[in-house]
């Protein structure tokens, strides 16, 4: 690795000229940041208030279930247990559920947890805690323990819904405070190329995470564009060879390594350079391709250890299961939304001359072409004279109705017919036109691997904001991740996130 002198202003600690020896590694920042106390206090308050929010939600849930004891139903007797018995059960249930939350790491202060993942953990942890509480109460009271299954069912439902709602509200409030710059973590991005700019864009689009990007750090000073000192409004503050000095001088809280095509030993060298400093380090998976897959596993080949880092497509049983889910969902949607689809068809027919539906050739599984079906949102001759192009935010071609259809993805509803016929899946990589596929396969490595499975109406890339005229390279990474990590729960997560994403303000469907 070529090492150059430190950039101006990074505060490198120079060796003592009289000793002739280099200075020892920096053990701590030369001067602690002035807002450190407030930074730590905010973190403690976030965790403490989240714990209190969970506790209050649980107490309210189980108390409400007891107050509804007069309701009759099929879940059990309507007669309530003695008040003291239920008070003991509520206390133990709240304590056990909170203990499960603590032991499972739900108070570790992770900022970018998916709401879907968090909801799933809440359901499982509340269920586990309640079962433990019932067992403990039964052990304490013995034969005197009488309980209503109906009230326990109500309590479980109220607890799950209450904790999820309370946590969503807490996350929203904390995110709004962080978006104002309160107790923001100072971040340095190593890598000023496209991968580093991608990370910067993600951070800027997520102000609720509370990250303040101090600057970029180049890995190689001789890289293309090395003369540039400011990139996307963020200064380039040095090179990775001087990382320890840069971190110390800029009071950095976190480093994000966003490099592509760099040997892993060079990345490890950077990490070791800051091990004596109180700074967190993240590595964007582009740098370590093995980390992009959850299917990383150790197996053996007749006694020879091997590591599986990727799979190719779904197994036959998984494909049958996915197909069954597709048929059920597509049939249900077409039946339930048929009045809406008829109304939209009538509006399109009245609004502009031409057919109601628009068919377009797309590339699906194994590179096979099919014709995707959509509600027409543009004039019939929309591409006359310009050829195939992506739609953009200010595209003048869609009319008022067309923009409405595209904004809320209503033009995609007829694609459930494609799903019913087996040409598409509800969830999968979005299909592209052959014209674009031919371009992308020539410049994007492993692009065609996304075609190992059926194309989908929605996908992992789309629910992460990658729709329309966005980075094809980034979309490809998300599509490959989906193909290699498919599961039923993953599909359910994407479907639920799609419903929320459609109505988000930053939905870039146009």
Helices (H), 205-281: 243-249, 264-273
Residue 18 predicted with pLDDT over 60: no
- Residues 464-480: tens digit of each pLDDT: 888 766 778 888 888 88
Residue 505 predicted with pLDDT over 90: no
Half-sphere CA count of 180, side-chain side, radius 13 A: 6
CA 218 – CA 261 distance, rounded (Å): 14
Residue 111 predicted with pLDDT over 80: no
Residue 235 predicted with pLDDT over 80: yes
Residue 95 predicted with pLDDT over 70: yes
**Burial group, residue 19, by CB count within 10 angstroms (0-12, 13-18, 19+):** exposed
Check residues 375 and 65 and name the one with the higher pLDDT. 375
Q: How many CB atoms lie within 10 A of CB 478?
A: 20
Residue 10 predicted with pLDDT over 60: no
**Burial group, residue 308, by CB count within 10 angstroms (0-12, 13-18, 19+):** exposed
Residue percentage of the chain with pLDDT more than 90:
23
Tokens of residue 129, six digits: 């805690």
Identify the helix (H) or strand (E) that includes residue 169. Answer: helix 149-179
| Torsions phi, psi for 269 (to 5 deg) | -60, -40
Please give the pLDDT value at position 311. 57
pLDDT confidence of 323, banded at 50, 70, 90?
very high
- Residues 168-222: tens digit of each pLDDT: 999 889 988 888 888 888 899 998 887 888 888 888 888 888 888 999 998 877 6
Q: Taking CA 17 as the corner, what is the angle to CA 13 and CA 19, rounded to the nearest 5 degrees?
A: 105
Residue 293, CA distances (Å) to 289, 345, 413 in order: 8, 42, 31
Residue 119, CA distances (Å) to 93, 97, 147, 403 in order: 19, 14, 27, 33
Please give the pLDDT value at position 423. 93
CA 289 – CA 260 distance, rounded (Å): 10
Residue 25 predicted with pLDDT over 50: no
Most distant pair of Cα atoms in the chain: their distance: 88
| Torsions phi, psi for 298 (to 5 deg) | -105, 130
Please give the pLDDT value at position 31. 45
CA 425 – CA 364 distance, rounded (Å): 10
What mean pLDDT comes out for the span 85-109?
Answer: 84
The answer for residues whose C-beta is within 8 angstroms of residue 50's C-beta and 6 or more apart is 107, 167, 170
Task: Lowest mean pLDDT of 335-349, 351-365, 369-383, name the range.
Answer: 369-383
pLDDT confidence of 506, banded at 50, 70, 90?
low
So where are the chain's domains? 36-179, 185-292, 316-502
Helices (H), 104-148: 115-141
Q: What is the mean pLDDT of the chain?
A: 78
What mean pLDDT comes out for the span 343-356?
Answer: 88
- Residues 418-429: tens digit of each pLDDT: 999 999 999 999
pLDDT confidence of 56, banded at 50, 70, 90?
very high
Reported pTM: 0.62
CA 371 – CA 380 distance, rounded (Å): 17
Assigned fold of 185-292: Rossmann fold (3.40.50)
| Torsions phi, psi for 360 (to 5 deg) | -145, 140
């Amino acid at each position: 690795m070529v090492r150059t002198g430190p950039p101006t202003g990074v505060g490198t600690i120079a060796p003592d000229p009289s000793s002739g020896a280099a200075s020892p590694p920096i053990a701590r920042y030369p001067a602690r940041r002035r807002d450190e106390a407030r930074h730590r206090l905010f973190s403690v308050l976030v965790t403490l208030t989240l714990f209190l929010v969970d506790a209050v939600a649980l107490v309210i849930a189980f108390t409400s279930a007891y107050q509804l004891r007069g309701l009759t139903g099929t879940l059990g007797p309507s007669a309530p247990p003695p008040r003291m018995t239920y008070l003991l059960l509520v206390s133990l249930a709240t304590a056990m559920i909170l203990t499960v939350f603590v032991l499972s790491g739900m108070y570790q202060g992770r900022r970018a947890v998916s709401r879907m993942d968090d909801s799933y953990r809440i359901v499982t942890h509340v269920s586990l805690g309640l079962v433990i509480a019932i067992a403990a109460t039964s052990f304490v009271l013995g034969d005197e323990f009488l309980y209503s299954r109906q009230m326990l069912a109500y309590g479980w439902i109220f607890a799950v819904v209450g904790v999820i709602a309370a946590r969503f509200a807490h996350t929203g409030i904390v995110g709004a405070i962080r978006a104002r710059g309160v107790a923001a973590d100072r971040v340095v991005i190593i890598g000023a190329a496209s991968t580093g700019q991608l990370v910067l864009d993600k951070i800027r689009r997520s102000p609720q995470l509370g990250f303040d990007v101090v600057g970029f750090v180049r890995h190689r000073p001789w890289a293309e564009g090395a003369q540039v000192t400011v990139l996307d409004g963020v200064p380039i503050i040095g090179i990775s060879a001087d990382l320890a000095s840069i971190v110390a001088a800029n009071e950095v809280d976190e480093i994000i390594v966003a490099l592509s095509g760099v040997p892993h030993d060079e990345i490890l060298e950077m990490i070791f350079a800051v091990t004596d400093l109180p700074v967190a380090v993240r590595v964007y998976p582009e740098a370590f391709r093995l980390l992009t897959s959850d299917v990383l596993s150790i197996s053996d080949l007749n006694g020879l250890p091997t590591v599986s880092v990727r799979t190719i497509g779904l197994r036959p049983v998984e494909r049958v299961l996915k197909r069954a889910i597709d048929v059920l969902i597509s049939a249900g949607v077409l039946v339930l939304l048929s009045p809406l689809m008829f109304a939209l068809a009538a509006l399109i027919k009245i609004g502009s001359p031409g057919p109601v539906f628009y068919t377009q050739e797309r590339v699906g599984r194994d590179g096979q072409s099919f014709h995707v079906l959509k509600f027409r949102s543009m004039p019939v001759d929309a591409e006359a004279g310009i050829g195939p192009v992506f739609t953009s935010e200010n595209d003048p071609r869609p009319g008022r109705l067309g923009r409405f259809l595209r904004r809320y993805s209503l033009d995609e509803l007829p694609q459930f017919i494609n799903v019913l016929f087996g040409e598409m899946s509800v969830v999968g990589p979005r299909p592209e036109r052959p014209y674009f596929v031919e371009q992308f396969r020539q410049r994007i490595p492993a692009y065609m691997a996304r075609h190992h499975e059926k194309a989908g109406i929605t996908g992992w890339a789309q629910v992460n904001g990658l729709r329309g005229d966005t980075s094809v390279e980034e979309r490809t990474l998300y599509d490959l991740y989906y193909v290699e990590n498919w599961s039923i729960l993953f599909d359910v997560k994407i479907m639920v996130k799609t419903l929320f994403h459609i109505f988000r303000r930053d939905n870039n469907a146009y």
